[in-house]
Amino acid sequence: MMKDIVFDLNNVGICYRKVASIRWKNNKFWALHGVSFSVHRGETVGIIGRNGAGKSTLLKILADIIKPDTGTITRAKISVMMQSLGAGFDPRLTGKQNIFLSALMLGMDKNRIYFNVDDIIALADIGAFINEPIRNYSIGMRARLGFSIAYYIDADVMLIDEALATGDHEFKIKATELIKEKIKSDHTVVIVTHAINIVRELCDRVIVIEEGRSLPEVSLEESIEHYMNMKKK
Amino acid sequence: MNVLSDNSKTSAGSKGKAISKLYNLVLFRTIGELKSESTRTYAGYLWWIFEPLLSLGVYYVAFKYIFHRDTENFAIFLFIGIVIYRFFSGTVTRGASSIMEGHGLMQLVYFHKSLFPLSVIMVNLVKFLITIFLVIVIVTLCGIMPTWTYLALPVLIVLALLVVAGISIICAAITPFFPDFRLFLNTIIYLMIFLSGVFYDIGTLPPKAQTLLRLNPIAVVIEQTRLILLHGQWPNFQHLLLASAQGVLLLIIGLLLVHKFNRYYPKIS
């Protein structure tokens, strides 16, 4: 019996249009055309491909941020979270106030935020800065806070674009371990990445995207090999 | 292939969840915006009172001493018009660009895009309520005592909110497609101040002009609020009904537009 399907994409295409362009012709751009694959519950799927191949656009479709122009996507009734660190931050507000804004944005409900706020602050570990406006933060501190909020969001599906974690060196090591643990648990995860070692370590399957298309799925090692050859060209 | 479905979440339940998320986001963003706005200047919250008073000063000097307007209680008359018009112009101007400016955020996470104009509307509503209170204080200080007709004020405030919200959301929905619309909008707002009876009393115009100008719901709100605060008269029910209908219609059109393009806005570049 097949495992439960979380996403099922069938020939999905996305077309961007440029607004306010003087030339009326040629203002269409197909970021994706003909992407088909499915993701099952509990799997970790890697998406690899060269820059501009449409990987991030694909994540936006999975996150339900945009809808495909052609083809279909069937999604299970699940909560999906894109690992968007610091989404919805207002630099003029304090770290604590921003925890509420950003966590609400990422889909945590209000009571849960009240329940988790102390844990989030403890994980971020930025001391008294938590009550300072975040415009006074260093990039590292901001990354710590962003990661800590995202870490406590409990979604069925996690979508990760490029980096597993950001921030200063010390925090990055800790955060990477935490997120790897989360990925290896029964979460369904889709990771867009360039890092082959991450694919090897974490992914059950891998989808190669080339010029807006998904290539027919082959084994993990074959896909990686194909991707390496593609990059050399 | 069986697509996984979770029976515990009915579609009505997820709709309710989406609305409660939107409600909470609007609330938190509004409070956040009000707080951060007040920390940006030395006088902070006091600017919400100074600003309308300053524009009153400018118009008052212009009309009293340059055009020699000598209506009774002209300062209050003018102030009521200015406060309501500022609520309209401020919200529509900020609201119009709100979805467009949220372009970056909407790439990262899904939420209903009406969040942007709704937050702007709520921030401006709070400031409007404060200035309305200020108006009442000044009216009383000038010796015009409150009457029972004040009970109709909340109706007029809701009416103003409906109209302002409707127009703001419609403008917010259009602007991402035509960024130039904002410049055009500035001119309209500039023009509208003369068609809203801010500087004159619509009731003194020829009947035909009156009917025409009362098609503008902002003009109706200003006129009827003056009736209450300056003359202690109950507002005209017929005028209010028409303006409310316009307000509700505008709001529905606006929300439908944003809803239709909800997942299209992130694709506009």
User: DSSP letters of A159-228?
Assistant: EEES-S--SSHHHHHHHHHHHHHHHHTT-EEEEE-S-HHHHHHH-SEEEEEETTEEPPP--HHHHHHHHH
Which value does ipTM take for this structure? 0.88
Q: What is the pLDDT of residues B25-74, one digit of tens each?
A: 999 999 989 988 887 777 778 888 888 889 888 888 888 787 777 777 88
Q: What pLDDT, on the 0 to 100 scale, is given for residue B30? A: 94
Q: Which of A14-18, A26-30, A52-56, A114-118 has the lowest mean pLDDT?
A: A26-30
Look at the block and give the residue holding tokens 């998406």.
Answer: A47
Q: What is the pLDDT of residues A11-49, one digit of tens each?
A: 899 988 776 555 555 677 888 888 999 999 989 999 988
Cβ neighbours of residue B159 closer than 8 Å, sequence gap 6 or more:
B217, B220, B221, B240, B243, B244, B247
**A65/B266 touch (CB, cutoff 8 Å), yes or no:** yes
**A87/B25 touch (CB, cutoff 8 Å), yes or no:** no
Domain boundaries, chain A: 5-78+189-232
Residues of chain B in Cβ contact (below 8 Å) with chain A:
1-6, 9, 14, 17, 20-21, 24-25, 28-29, 32-33, 35-36, 39-40, 105-111, 176-180, 263-264, 266-269
The listed CATH number (3.30.70.20, 3.20.20.220, 3.30.750.24, 3.40.50.300) that belongs to domain A5-78+189-232: 3.40.50.300
Measured between CB atoms, which of B4, B36, B266 is closest to A4? B4
Half-sphere exposure of B75 (CA within 13 A, CB side): 12
Distance from CA of B176 to the nearest CA of A (A): 8
Q: Are A73 and A231 in contact (CB under 8 A)?
A: no
Region for residue A42 given its phi and psi (left: phi exceeds 0; alpha: psi -120 to 50; beta: otherwise): left
Give the A:B interface size as CB pairs under 8 Å.
Answer: 106
To probe the interface with B, which of A5, A30, A92, A188 has the most B CB atoms within 10 Å?
A92
pLDDT range class, residue B83, cuts 50, 70, 90 = very high
pTM, whole model, 2 decimals?
A: 0.90
Q: Are A34 and A13 in contact (CB under 8 A)?
A: yes
